[in-house]
Each structure stands twice: as C-alpha cells, then as structure tokens.
C-alpha cells in the first residue's frame, strides 16, 4: 500500500514536472536552421517540390551518359552489363509472362528519375553530378524512351509536366487477394 502511494506520488511529480516543461516536451536536441536543412534537403516529389533550379539538354545528357552511365546501363540503356538495370524499352511487356521493367515501361513519375540519379548515381560516386548534369541525363534517358523529343532542354517546370507511359499502372495494395488468405472457420 505504501509502495503504491509512493509510486503514485512519483507519477504525479513526474507529470507535474513534465507539464512545467511545456506539454511533456523533453527539450532534447538542437533547433535546425533553414540554412542547415538546405544542405541535406535533396528529396524531389512528383509535384516538382524539391526540384532545384537548372537545366540540361538531351545533347549534354548523351555525353554525360556515355562517360558516367553507359558502362553499367549499356550504350543506349538497352543492353546493360549483367545484373545492372535496363533503362530503356519494355513497353507493352508488363502484362506478359516476361515483363521488362524499365524507366520507360514501368516508372510512373519522371521526377523520381531526377531524385534517384541525384541521390544515388553514378554508382561509384553518388551526389557528384551538378543539378544541370542531372537534368541533362534525365532528359537523355527520357529521350531514349521516346518520352521527350531530341531537342529537349529540361528544367524543373518541364520535368514535373512529363507524363510517363505507365503513370496509371499502379494501384493500392489489393490484399487479401488470393483465395485462401483469410481464415473463415476454425482459425484459433
């Protein structure tokens, strides 16, 4: 009984203490300033949020691709080295027994290509391409997939408007979908 009231008192004390410290906030950590956040804030969304200023042409992209990308992904994105991603082609294969899932056939958003190339490519040296270089490579890969014309100069405004061929290809999680995934009788 005594232990119980002691712990109740302690809980009250703690509650009172934390209430004094502003709605149970612990006050740990250091405020992050906008200038600090800018250094790490690299994500890009389909609505264009996060795309940096800059521009890049298909022509520039072709040169950068040849130097930085072709060794793994193949000269035109069609014939990658073994085990690396094919970037081009595969349209019309998704509903076949052997789907070819590429940027052109599968990826729903062009902005994702910018985000991913910028954060994780080129594989041996991620985050070394400038924004202009990333726009160029993105323009070139989209061109190889017949999504933008050869004379494209890609910018943030243009990229967020690009409509990908498989943009409508994704649906919400459909589970339970298989016949016997949910138990009906004798389940415990």
Partner 1 sequence: MSVSRRQILASGAALAIGGLSSTTSVEAQAGNVPLDVPGSMHEQGRPVLSPAYGLPSKFEKDVVRRIREPRATDTEAFSVTPLQNLHGIITPNGLVFERHHAGVPEIAPDQHRLLIHGLVERPLILTMDDLLRFPAVTRIHFLECSGNSSTEWKKSGYHSVQRTHGLLSCCEWTGVPLSTILGEVGLKPDAKWVLAEGADAAAMTRSVPIEKALDDALIVYAQNGEMLRPEQGYPVRLFLPGFEGNMSVKWLRRLKVGDRPWHTREETSRYTNLLANGKAYQFAFEMDVKSVVTFPNADRSFKAPGFYEISGIAWSGRGHVTRVDVSVDGGATWHRASLQEPVLDKCLTRFRLPFNWQGQPLEIQSRAYDDKGWMQPTRSSLIAARGINPRYHFNAIQGWKVAVDGGLTNASA
- Interface with partner 1 by CB under 8 A: which residues? 24-26, 28-33, 36-37, 40-47, 72, 81-84, 94-95, 97, 99, 101, 103, 106-109, 111-112, 115-116, 119-120, 123, 126-127, 169-183, 187-188
CB of 125 to partner 1, least distance (A): 9
Around Cβ 108, how many Cβ atoms within 10 Å?
Answer: 15
CB of 37 to partner 1, least distance (A): 5
Instruction: Please identify, using beta-carbon distances, which residue of 70 and 72 lies nearer to partner 1.
Output: 72
3-state SS class at 56: strand
Instruction: Find out whether 135 and 56 touch, Cβ atoms under 8 Å.
Output: yes
CB of 121 to partner 1, least distance (A): 10
CB of 85 to partner 1, least distance (A): 8
CB of 46 to partner 1, least distance (A): 5
Instruction: Please identify, using beta-carbon distances, which residue of 43 and 146 lies nearer to partner 1.
Output: 43
Instruction: Please identify, using beta-carbon distances, which residue of 53 and 172 lies nearer to partner 1.
Output: 172
Sequence-distant (≥ 6) Cβ neighbours of residue 146 within 8 angstroms: 104
Instruction: Please identify, using beta-carbon distances, which residue of 119 and 150 lies nearer to partner 1.
Output: 119
Instruction: Please identify, using beta-carbon distances, which residue of 5 and 30 lies nearer to partner 1.
Output: 30
**Exposure b/e, 132-159, CB count within 10 A at least 16 = b:** bbbbbbbbbbbbbbebbeeebebbbebb
Long-range contacts of 70-78 (CB under 8 A, 24+ apart): 72/123, 76/144, 77/102, 77/103, 77/141, 77/144, 77/145
């Amino acid at each position: 009984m005594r232990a119980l009231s002691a712990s109740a008192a302690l809980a009250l004390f703690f509650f009172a203490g934390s209430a004094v410290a502003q709605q149970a906030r612990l006050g740990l950590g250091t405020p992050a300033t906008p200038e600090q956040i800018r250094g790490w804030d690299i994500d890009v969304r389909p609505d264009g949020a996060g795309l940096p200023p800059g521009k890049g042409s298909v022509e520039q992209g072709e040169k950068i691709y040849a130097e930085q990308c072709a060794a793994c992904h193949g000269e035109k994105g069609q014939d990658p080295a073994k085990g690396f991603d094919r970037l081009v082609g595969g349209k019309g294969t998704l509903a076949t027994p052997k789907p070819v899932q590429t940027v052109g056939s599968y990826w729903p958003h062009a902005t994702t290509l910018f985000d991913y190339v910028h954060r994780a490519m080129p594989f041996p040296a991620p985050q070394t391409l400038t924004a202009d270089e990333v726009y160029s490579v993105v323009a070139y890969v989209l061109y190889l997939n017949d999504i933008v014309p050869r004379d494209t100069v890609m910018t943030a405004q243009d990229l967020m408007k690009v409509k990908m061929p498989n943009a409508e290809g994704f649906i919400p999680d459909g589970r339970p979908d298989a016949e016997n995934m949910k138990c009906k009788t004798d389940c415990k």
